[in-house]
Structure formats: C-alpha cells, structure tokens
A = this chain, B = another copy of it.
C-alpha cells in the first residue's frame, strides 16, 4: 500500500459503505472514514462503523451535525417507517425516509475533510439499483457532485480530488458478492432503519438486504433476526 494515496470514505455502518471501504482498501488507499451523527433513530450504525473501520485498519471520525433534520421518518420518531412494502413500491417515488440533501451535506463535509488531509478521492457507497428512490443516490447526481469537487475546490481544480462511487452500477446481490470476496464481516454491518437488538425485517432496507443475500446464495449472519420478527 502506498501510504501517500489517501481516501476519505463515508462509512455509515451499513452494508454498502462497508463494502466500499474494503474495496477502497483493496485499491491501495489509506482510508480515513467519516461517520455522521444526525439524530438517526439509533446509534447502532455508528458503533458498527467504528468496528468496521478498525477491521479495515482505517481511521474513523464521527461528525455530529449541528442540526437534526425534520420531516423524515428516518429521524423523526413521531412518523411511521414504511413497512412490508412490495419491491415495485419500494422502487418508485421518494420514500418518507428521504432526508433532505443528506448525501450533499455528507459529501460537502467530506470534501473539506479530504482537501485538509490531502486525500485523492472521496468514496461513497451509493448505488442506483435498489436505491429506494433517493434522488441523491443516482449516478446523475453523483456526477454533478463530482463536478462541484472539480470546480469548487483547490485540490479538484488541480486534478487531485475526485468522487468515487464504485457500487453505483451494481445491485444488492453483486454488492454482497463483492463484499464476500473482500472479506467484509457482514455480521458487523447494520441495514435496518430501526436500532433494536435484531433487524426488524420489515422496513425497506431489511427487505432489500434479505433479497440481496438470497439472490447471492449467501447466508446473512444477521438473518435469525429477520425470522424472529416475521
């Protein structure tokens, strides 16, 4: 590994960002992770992120945002999470779990962090397939943010900083297969929108995760949890 080739990695503790971290590591990057505390329903994701970063030999900084988003069922306990939705419904429209401009806020702070530490790339685990209708997970959006980096930062202008979204064209099955080949501890990733002891099995995120593992023919180490709640 070339220690001079640094990357900033957005690490949520979920499956996609975990695979992205191990992918960046395999590509030879010295990885510096950022996790965000923004009043999400549970702190479990961040605990997972800490463990995953340690497993990848990466650093982790937790950034507590100075505001809590309103109007999203992901952060507002008074709103119900969508449950047991058919795939076709999950894949159409923007769900109530949408958090306004979330990835833009995360990526902009990562841009500043990346420039400060001299990172060459910012890695994000967004993917278009199964993106549940989040506008800020689409390739068109990520291309626009890459342009922001290249035009709006000194490092980007000088060709030293770019956005990397290696999972963007992959579906959940392919992401899980890639993660397995990279040795990701899936048992240390958390996808559920709730923060119980076990995944709820009924939110959009649990449904997409279960489908991905099923299609990949891999057993999810957390799968007991799904059965317990079904």
Contact = CB atoms under 8 A, between A and B. Distances in A.
Interface of A: 63-67, 69-71, 94, 98-105, 107-109, 111-113, 115-116, 135-136, 138, 140-141, 144-145, 147-148, 151-157
Given A66-B64, A101-B115, A116-B100, A136 B153 contact: yes
A111 B101 contact: yes
Contacts of A155: 100
Number of copies: 2
Contact of A112 (B69, B140, B144): B69
17 contacts: A64-B66, A65-B66, A67-B109, A67-B113, A94-B157, A100-B111, A101-B115, A104-B153, A107-B108, A108-B108, A135-B151, A135-B154, A136-B153, A144-B144, A144-B147, A144-B151, A148-B148
B64 A116 contact: no
Given A67-B113, A138-B152, 6 more contacts: A99-B112, A103-B152, A104-B111, A135-B156, A138-B151, A145-B148
Instruction: Please provide the 9 A-B residue pairs with the shortest distance between their CB atoms, ordered closest to farther.
Output: A100-B115, A108-B108, A101-B112, A101-B111, A144-B147, A136-B152, A141-B152, A141-B151, A104-B108
B136 A144 contact: no
A145 B144 CA distance: 7
Given A71-B116, A116-B69, A135 B152 contact: yes
Contact of A145 (B66, B67, B102, B152): B152
